[in-house]
Amino acid sequence: MSQDSIAVGSMAGASSNSGRGLWSSRWAFFLAATGSAVGLGNIWKFPYITGENGGGAFVLVYLACILVIGIPLLMTEVMIGRRGRANPEGAMAALAKQVGAGRHWRLFGSMAILTGFLILSFYAVIAGWALAYTPAAIMGSFAGLNGESSGALFGALLGDPWKLVGFGTVVLLLTLGIVALGVREGLERSLRFMMPGLFVLLLGLVGYAATTGHFLEAVHFLFDADFSKLSGQSVLVALGHAFFTLSLATGAMMAYGSYLPAGTSIAKTAIMVALADTAVALLAGLAIFPLVFANGLEPGAGPGLIFVTLPIAFGQMPFGQLVGGLFFIMLAIAALTSAISLLEPTVAWLGEKFAIGRIKAVVLSGIVLWLLSLGTALSFNVWSDFTLFGKTFFDSLDYLTTSLLMPLGGLGTVVFGGWVLSRTVVQEALGIGHPHLFTLWWQVLRWVTPLGIVLVFLHTLGLFG
């Protein structure tokens, strides 16, 4: 189907979505969007950046960022997807055409698709670490670990190109397989059991953490706000993370929005997704920090918190093999539900732009993704000396996507939503009935959100802060 043939307004109400697929209900969309949002960012990154930035005060700033940047942008993306009823590039092109704006706006859609695709190439490798650690935990490899030997165990995984490529490939194959089956049969069906499984595992782990006797220490650590520990840098970390954790500027939420049935309130659903995502991040903190404190370990250990610090705790505590195994299975499921959302925009785009079938689009994407993932897997070992601008292949890709493309794409989308689309189009699409509430949201979208993004971006470029 060519993009020009997408009749925008009338399509928004269509129930068949022209054979593109639709979620069976608003609930299915909620599961999918939450599955996308909840991932390594919540369980791996959020706890360690909170640990590094002093706890409660950081959490407060992060919540503010979710509110003024994350939620407005999330609503805008879902709205563009649903109104455009096409892949991110096609949807932006269709909407721009509808309001008489230039065709170049579609490039922000193309950029988002590319960003998600590139992120998936390294996200799969990191998700592979969780897969690798699951059998290790269950088989008791963590018994008696101390700081040094745990670091060495993780180092041995990173140093083994076969293992990194192998586990990354398994994650990619699972992702490709689910996406190949389509919106209902693949994504929706798998999410219907993966998401409840994820929540049960998480609640079970929080329950276990509550029995360690150090739960309150974790609660204080996460919720006591000591602003003296907060730096300007922490605020920017919080802003950047709000983007990543809500899967913004990668086309994921636009693509998922394009399968959202008409008549669902985008505002309400987006707020529910953001709440669920935040709840999981906080619960992950409540599952992890009691174990860290109970075993006398360091909460501010950085990126190694999950893969170096936590295994020491699993090796020392009662039922550690079981708890550790369940923890890494949970991490792998969370990563997989995010990975499928990173692939869907590319597959939808290939299918709609070049009129090829879903399977063909998946195979093509898979080949390129796998080759790219080799770059990341090998950058931890055999290619670790190969650097671009002083960064390894993985660090360069991470920087290019999360520090440059994400804020740029987010800015473009928010400006498109707040300044190019008309107020009535947006109001009607979002379903915020209360006029004052909408006006407030509209002003935040037009001023506060873009300003926040510009701030992060200038800081990234070293021009500010």
List residues near ligand PFF by CB under 6 A.
36-37, 39-42, 116, 119, 244-245, 247, 250, 252, 338, 341-342
Give the residue among 283, 98, 263, 264 at the shortest CA–CA distance from 201. 283
Burial 128-145 (b: 16+ CB within 10 A, else e): bbbbbbbebbbeebbeeb
* Min CB(296)–ligand PFF separation in Å: 29
37/308 with CB nearer ligand PFF: 37
CA–CA gap between residue 44 and residue 31 (Å, rounded): 21
CA–CA gap between residue 183 and residue 396 (Å, rounded): 32
Look up tokens 């190694």; give the residue. 304
* Min CB(334)–ligand PFF separation in Å: 7
Instruction: Quickly list H helices, 295-392.
Output: 304, 310-316, 320-354, 358-379
If phi > 0 it is left, if psi is from -120 to 50 it is alpha, else beta; for residue 393 that is alpha
* Min CB(244)–ligand PFF separation in Å: 5
145/329 with CB nearer ligand PFF: 329
* Min CB(44)–ligand PFF separation in Å: 8
250/316 with CB nearer ligand PFF: 250
In Å, what is the CA distance from 426 to each residue of 13, 352, 410? Answer: 15, 25, 17
* Min CB(243)–ligand PFF separation in Å: 8
* Min CB(115)–ligand PFF separation in Å: 8
* Min CB(48)–ligand PFF separation in Å: 13
If phi > 0 it is left, if psi is from -120 to 50 it is alpha, else beta; for residue 251 that is left
In Å, what is the CA distance from 452 to each residue of 64, 208, 410, 437? Answer: 11, 38, 11, 21
Give the end-to-end CA distance of the chain in Å, rounded to a whole number. 47
* Min CB(202)–ligand PFF separation in Å: 14
* Min CB(72)–ligand PFF separation in Å: 17
94/342 with CB nearer ligand PFF: 342
32/312 with CB nearer ligand PFF: 32
337/449 with CB nearer ligand PFF: 337
* Min CB(356)–ligand PFF separation in Å: 22
Burial zone of 271 (CB within 10 Å; 0-12 exposed, 13-18 middle, 19+ buried): middle
**What phi and psi, each to the nearest 5 degrees, are found at residue 399?**
-65, -45
Two structure tokens written together for 349: 């785009």
117/442 with CB nearer ligand PFF: 117
DSSP 421: S
247/449 with CB nearer ligand PFF: 247
* Min CB(124)–ligand PFF separation in Å: 11
Chain residue at closest Cβ approach to ligand PFF: 41
**In this structure, which amino acid lies at residue 414?**
V
105/244 with CB nearer ligand PFF: 244
CA–CA gap between residue 331 and residue 338 (Å, rounded): 11
116/320 with CB nearer ligand PFF: 116
CA–CA gap between residue 70 and residue 278 (Å, rounded): 11
- Contact call for residues 15 and 239 (beta carbons, < 8 A): no
202/252 with CB nearer ligand PFF: 252
CA–CA gap between residue 128 and residue 342 (Å, rounded): 16
CA–CA gap between residue 122 and residue 257 (Å, rounded): 25
234/338 with CB nearer ligand PFF: 338
* Min CB(37)–ligand PFF separation in Å: 5
Q: Transcribe 286-308 into DSSP letters.
A: HHHHHHHHHTT--TT-TTHIIII
Two structure tokens written together for 231: 């730096």
Two structure tokens written together for 204: 């079970």
